[in-house]
Structure 1
Amino acid sequence: MSPTILLCFLIGYFLMLIIISFATSKKTSDNSTFFIANRNSKWYLVAFGMIGTALSGVTFISVPGEVGAPAGNQFQYFQFVLGNVIGFIIIATVLLPLYYRMQLTSIYSYIEKRLGFYSYKTAATIFLISRTIGSAFRLYLVVIVLQHFIFDNYGIPFWATVLLSLLLIWSYTFKGGLKTIIITDTLQTFFLVLSVFLTIYFITKSLDLNILHAFETIKESNYSKIFFYEDFIGSKFHWVKQVLGGIFVTIAMTGLDQDLMQKNLSCKNIGEAQKNMFSFTSVFLVINLFFLSVGALLYIYAAKNGVAIPTDATGASRTDFLFPEIALNYLGVVPAIVFMLGLTAATFATTDSALTALTTSFCVDFLGMDKKQSADPKKDIKTRHIVHVVFSLLMFVVIIIFNSLNDQSVVSKIFQVASYTYGPLLGLYSFGLFVKNRGLHDKLVPFVCLISPAVCYVLNSHAKDWLGGYVFSVELILINGLITFLGLMLISKKTDQQTKF
């Protein structure tokens, strides 16, 4: 596939997004529009657009690649997805009603009202760190694909590709914010879903299979095992660990994350927000099954046509590269463009949303833009633009650092980091929601939220020796949240004051 054709496609794609941005923000670009789209978003647009935000380029590339990884992953990721579904239901029925009842712009304002000033700043800081790292990881995965298949051919360095990608994202999000994101993410999700189905069609056609035969071939292959019941102690793939991890990772990374909750809070009322979540959950479940099917078909295709699993400079296997390798070099021009369309849509739908959420959280939680009547709205908008630029640059730095350190599949790295960074949020919200008539020593909360991930790191590092060979997986986030919760109990005392929320 010609790098020039792919580059022209990218240029045209971003021109379309920039045109949409100016069309959606030309009438108004105040902070209310940027933060919560004036609470006037259509629930079905939010639901559909959230698919692209939740999946990202990691799902698009890394999840199919993991199917045939040397560790024998197969369809084990679907166990985690089932946990995600349970987590989404909990968010829709427990957290969303709370957020709407309190009319929040930043969801961390709940922590301020329930636990105190330092708890609030701690929760907001955890989000800023977690989302910056997580979104940088997701963008990194796509940038290395763009670098390898397009920009290396023009002698453009990796850092320049990263900077260009972030500049393009900034160009269509800085003005309209969430109002623009709702529209662009809907469009990008359409491209993402379309590319998944077309990719399955192209691969099955190249294997001389129809759709029904393709799924029968997947079922009978060595890649289709979903549930892992063996070795609860020593295996990361055991279904209990994966489902539990899926539940609590979802609650933390979605329900306690300003990014995806910001979209929900832009709906008119709680009823529409819940319709959004339930609809989104249904599509999310099905689309992940299709991504895993793509992975199985890729490995079946590779075996039949002698395609080697790509490796990095050290010779280590890089399953993340298998999908782009086959799509861009073996299937033809149209499948290559379809792949690039889906990959670009998946990744930039995640990153643009994250930058908007990071800007919103900092402006509301640390600059107080939503809590007081501004004497100079134009100055606030200028400040918001500066914050938006700063987070773009911060993400750039994280990607460059990660590129120098990366040694494993991005999907596993994201959830590993999430177990440490989002765990304290689980503890904070659990304490706020379920502990009544106890007052916190608020100034000690930041220390508890620092100690908990550190304890988890030590525990994870020595689990095999200390716990009879036990191997932690994504359920580590639950342990992290529990340690935080217990720490908060230790620094609290009984009080007669009644909890309001």
Structure 2
Amino acid sequence: MTNIDWVVLTTYLIGIIGLGVWLARRQQSTDDYFLGGRKMGPTVIAISLAANQVSAISLVSAPAFVALKTGGGIKWLQFEFAVPVSMIAIMFLLVPVFRQLSGSSVYEYAERRFGKRTRFTLSALFMFSRGLSTSVILYTSALVLSVIMDLPIVTTMIIMAIVSIAYTTIGGIMADVYSDILQLIILYGGVLVALIVSISILGKDFSSISIDPARLNSIDFSHHGFGDGQTFAFWPMIIGCIFLYVGYYGCDQSQAQRLLATPDVRQAQNALMINGLIRFPIVLTYIIFGVVLAAFIQSQPDFATKIQDKNPDYLVPTFMINYLPVGVVGLVMAGLFAASMSSIDSAFNSLSAVTVSDFVLKFRPDIAQKPLKMLRLSKLITLFWGILCAGGAYFVARSSSTVIEIVNMIGSAFSGPILATFLAGILFRSITGSAIITGIIAGTTLNFLLGQYVPSISWLWWGPIGFCTTLCISLIYSKISTTASPVSVDWTLKGILKKHPEKKSWLRDKRVYALLVYTFVIIIISIIVSRVLHLIPG
């Protein structure tokens, strides 16, 4: 990087902190800090949701998966097939229920429906898995950026940690959301510039380069991932990803908290619909960039030498830092920094929200009567989580890579059982708190056993397996125990719709059909892209 690039990067990072300071002027309570005063529009929230999923990790990993990774290719597009359907499920099953909650934690629902023990269980699971995952995300992001920027990994981690802790602690969720939007614009613009530059360098050589045809297949119907050791096949990616996305966007506090920041149910649903529409074009651009880079590696021996024997995730940053114009490199690297921090800052804010709502206020309810004191305490807790996760990242950096594998296993193992908890409470009036806790234990235990002893089963199946196990065990347990109390019945979907008969049926909602049609459009476009790419090489 040149001095100009460093100036651009430094200016951007200082500006992000300044954004947090500017937004903090409006904060008068934790409702402002954690939920933006519940006044954030659906488009803003939708872009933030998309930025968390298709930002730096996708930009780095998707093209690398297409161009270099063993067994990779444009079948990464199959990740997007389940998104619109997942948004429908969250819009009409989870959002109407969550919008009845008074606090900033979605796990409040678990107490309303099942009791305090279930709320504490879900909150503790979230804090454990999200805190550990955030440490790993910080480490892995810093690892890639440190190699590309020729900085020690500890230095890169410290910079990322300080900046993300600073603007999140000061600015709250509004700083997270608006920084997400800014970084997504910068990143996507950088990808478009990189795509144009790479194609212009290749010129007519692109059509004469032979790319492995297997990498150009967008859909894999020949595998099922249920014992054949194949993860990226059609069925595990569409069925498994439905559970993955519904669990992530709907039941993970780091994302669901954004839905609570909108003014009402319809605005939250609109945010999910917009998110379901804008993800695919961004991911498709990343995939096309990966195909071009696959050709670029063959056409440019010097570039191939730079990435030889390196982790495939170094592919995109190495290209950008060597071939993009001066100044643009600094801006894109700033975007990579900010995009890497987008998941981190969301975690800090959501971890703080859960700590305050589910634990502090339970043991010190009197603090709620002092809004400014509670706001200061919330910021201190955010700072605490930031320091804790940064310390965890340093520990991961000094440990073996198996730690990362274990954390990925933990996240996959918990997603299905947690989703089952919410849907069991919403759809089944008979399930009790004790039953659902027993189900969670059974579902997560089975997933860990599968990961340990049956690695041939794709981890994408863990979500459906954990979900079904948790739900079945909970139903069986409830049959032999006491029934749910009348109060808990009020927090089922039927009970809420009974209190709000004005809510329109999802079957009559045009947004449902728009997303269903869009699902088929995504699949058709993916097939067309595959056919066209097969015709270009040779």
TM-score by length of 1: 0.87
* In 1, Cα distance between equivalents of 2:307 and 2:397: 15
**Equivalent residue for 1:353?**
346
Code of the aligned partner of 2:385: F
Q: Secondary structure at the match of 2:40?
A: coil
Code of the aligned partner of 1:32: D
Q: CA deviation at 1:120?
A: 0.5
Change (3 A) 1:29 1:497: closer
Change (3 A) 1:439 1:309: farther
Change (3 A) 1:500 1:334: same
Change (3 A) 1:388 1:104: closer
More off after superposition, 321-330 vs 114-123: 321-330
Code of the aligned partner of 2:391: V
* In 1, Cα distance between equivalents of 2:203 and 2:197: 10
Change (3 A) 1:229 1:463: same
* In 2, Cα distance between equivalents of 1:203 and 1:343: 19
Alignment of 1:184 onto 2:179: yes
* Cα deviations by residue, 1:288-340 (Å, 9 ceiling, x for unpaired): 1111122222221111102337679xx5x511111111111244435533531
**Equivalent residue for 1:390?**
384
The alignment of Structure 1 onto Structure 2 pairs a total of residues equal to: 482
Code of the aligned partner of 1:449: I
* In 1, Cα distance between equivalents of 2:247 and 2:214: 33
**Equivalent residue for 1:463?**
454
Instruction: Kindly report which structure 2 residues correspond to 1:392-471, keeping only aligned pairs within 5 A, or say none.
Output: 392-405=386-399, 407=401, 416-441=409-434, 445=437, 448-463=439-454, 470-471=456-457
Out of 475, 484, 497, the residue aligned to residue 489 of structure 1 is: 475
How large is the RMSD of aligned CA atoms in angstroms?
Answer: 3.0
Q: CA deviation at 1:414?
A: 7.3
More off after superposition, 7-16 vs 364-373: 364-373
Identity in percent: 19
Code of the aligned partner of 1:388: T
Q: Given that residues 206 and 331 in structure 1 are in contact (C-alpha distance below 8 angstroms), is that contact kept between their aligned partners in structure 2?
A: no
Q: CA deviation at 1:47?
A: 1.6
Q: Given that residues 419 and 476 in structure 1 are in contact (C-alpha distance below 8 angstroms), is that contact kept between their aligned partners in structure 2?
A: yes
Change (3 A) 1:56 1:426: same
**Equivalent residue for 1:467?**
none
Code of the aligned partner of 2:483: T
Q: Given that residues 151 and 161 in structure 1 are in contact (C-alpha distance below 8 angstroms), is that contact kept between their aligned partners in structure 2?
A: no
Change (3 A) 1:379 1:335: closer
Q: Secondary structure at the match of 2:215?
A: coil
**Equivalent residue for 1:38?**
37
Q: Secondary structure at the match of 1:481?
A: helix
* In 2, Cα distance between equivalents of 1:68 and 1:309: 15
Q: Given that residues 28 and 371 in structure 2 are in contact (C-alpha distance below 8 angstroms), is that contact kept between their aligned partners in structure 1?
A: no
**Equivalent residue for 1:142?**
141
Change (3 A) 1:80 1:126: same
Change (3 A) 1:31 1:161: same
**Equivalent residue for 1:131?**
130
* In 1, Cα distance between equivalents of 2:257 and 2:38: 10
* In 1, Cα distance between equivalents of 2:361 and 2:54: 31
* In 2, Cα distance between equivalents of 1:391 and 1:97: 30
What 5-or-longer segments of structure 2 have no aligned partner?
492-538
TM-score by length of 2: 0.81
Q: Given that residues 198 and 338 in structure 1 are in contact (C-alpha distance below 8 angstroms), is that contact kept between their aligned partners in structure 2?
A: no
**Equivalent residue for 1:227?**
219
**Equivalent residue for 1:258?**
253
Considering fraction of residues, name the structure with more helix. 2
Code of the aligned partner of 1:374: A
Code of the aligned partner of 1:355: F
Code of the aligned partner of 1:34: Y
Q: CA deviation at 1:268?
A: 1.0
Change (3 A) 1:129 1:119: same
Q: Given that residues 6 and 330 in structure 2 are in contact (C-alpha distance below 8 angstroms), is that contact kept between their aligned partners in structure 1?
A: no
Instruction: Kindly report which structure 2 residues correspond to 1:2-401, keeping only aligned pairs within 5 A, or say none.
Output: 2=2, 4-150=3-149, 152=151, 157-208=152-203, 223-232=215-224, 233-234=227-228, 235-306=230-301, 307-308=303-304, 317-368=310-361, 374-401=368-395
More off after superposition, 274-283 vs 44-53: 44-53
* In 1, Cα distance between equivalents of 2:204 and 2:282: 21
* In 1, Cα distance between equivalents of 2:256 and 2:443: 25
* Cα deviations by residue, 1:71-94 (Å, 9 ceiling, x for unpaired): 221022211221233212211222
**Equivalent residue for 2:504?**
none
* In 2, Cα distance between equivalents of 1:57 and 1:436: 42
What 5-or-longer segments of structure 1 have no aligned partner?
465-469
Change (3 A) 1:408 1:202: farther
Change (3 A) 1:474 1:298: same
Q: CA deviation at 1:131?
A: 2.2
* In 2, Cα distance between equivalents of 1:375 and 1:256: 29
* In 2, Cα distance between equivalents of 1:332 and 1:10: 14
Change (3 A) 1:42 1:228: same
Q: CA deviation at 1:196?
A: 2.2
Change (3 A) 1:323 1:497: same
